[in-house]
Amino acid sequence: MKKYPLTLIGFLIAFTGAILFSTKAIMVKLAFANIKVDALSLLTIRMIFSLPFYLIAAFFISNKEGNVKLSQRQWSYLLVLGLFGYYLSSLFDFIGLQYISAGLERLILFLYPTFVVLINMFIFKQKINSSQRIALLLTYTGIGLAYYGELKIDTANPNFFWGSFLIFLCAITYSIYIVGSGRMISTIGATKFTAYAMLSATAGIFIHFLLRGEFDVLINSKGLWAYGLSLAIVATVIPTFMLSAALKKIGSNNVAIISSIGPVSTIVQAHYFLGEKIFAEQIAGTILVVVGVLMLSIKR
């Protein structure tokens, strides 16, 4: 296995990318608080601004020398995985954020590597070793702690459990995408797979929005386009390219370690920008979740 040195520029790129990714929940919560918009409309605007970047990437990759042609079966798999990874998971995420705090949302989403391990165990019969068992125990104990603390301060929220369930669904659908992508990327390449998966998800979101038929919100919601542009560029496109560059410079292990700042960043930003409380159970739970996920994510 190739060894990657941890350079300063690589660290800064990965760190900045992880911080920018963590702003997504903050922007979504601010949009819900400050403008009259629903989750699907906000998600649609986000994808409108992101679409040109995916189209350009897909165009250059398809015309690149050595481009791998996909079979009809591979196209079908890619389409389904894209819908799971960035249509369903994004929709569940945006709807769920209407009902729970940004800090709890980020912690629940950070569980997706544990779901990857469980899917591989139940579906593909991969055995779980002792370190993975410890990691699973740590992560779910951490979520239990944070969840208990959140329940104590959010007792008046009638949709707390529904919002939490939707974020869990988001983490599960994204983990399905990760498992499937791992089996296709080795054949067709990471950039091509991601570009076409994102185009598939974008098509799903646009079709959903068109079928719903409520178009007035795009015109009548003041500030909607500004939030959509910020979500697309600051919290999606730029950090995606930054983390891809970091992977090439310092490797996946170093990126996994640095990216663990994500949940901490979201909690701190939610405190200052959204007024969300920071409490002892949340801090302890976050530490356990981050440690557990790192144990699962870093390749030995």
* pLDDT tops 60 at residue 1: no
> Residue 110 and residue 97: Cα distance in Å, rounded?
15
> Residue 23 and residue 12: Cα distance in Å, rounded?
17
> Residue 19 and residue 81: Cα distance in Å, rounded?
26
Q: How many structural domains is the chain composed of?
A: 1
**pLDDT band (50, 70, 90) for residue 2:** low
What type of residue is 223? G
Inside any domain, residue 243: yes
Supply the pTM of this predicted model: 0.91
Closest CA to 227 of 87, 86, 26, 89: 26
How many C-beta atoms surround the C-beta of residue 198 within 10 A?
24
Inside any domain, residue 83: yes
Residue ranges making up the domain that contains 281? 8-297
Q: Is residue 202 classed exposed, middle or buried when 0-12, 13-18 and 19+ CB atoms within 10 A define those classes?
A: buried
Closest CA to 185 of 61, 2, 89: 61
Inside any domain, residue 138: yes
Helices H / strands E in the chain, number of each: 15, 0
Lookup result for tokens 């557990």: 292
Average confidence score pLDDT of the chain = 90
Inside any domain, residue 204: yes
> Residue 230 and residue 236: Cα distance in Å, rounded?
9
Distances (CA, A) of 3 to 103, 244, 247, 252, 254: 34, 17, 12, 10, 10
pLDDT in tens, 112-164: 999 999 998 998 888 888 989 999 999 999 999 999 999 888 777 889 999 99
pLDDT in tens, 174-201: 999 988 887 887 788 777 888 899 999 9
Inside any domain, residue 181: yes
> Residue 217's pLDDT is what?
85
Inside any domain, residue 3: no
- Under 8 Å between Cβ of 236 and 46: yes
Inside any domain, residue 2: no
Residue-wise burial string across 178-196, b where 16 or more C-beta atoms lie within 10 A, e elsewhere: bbbbeebeeebbeebbbbb
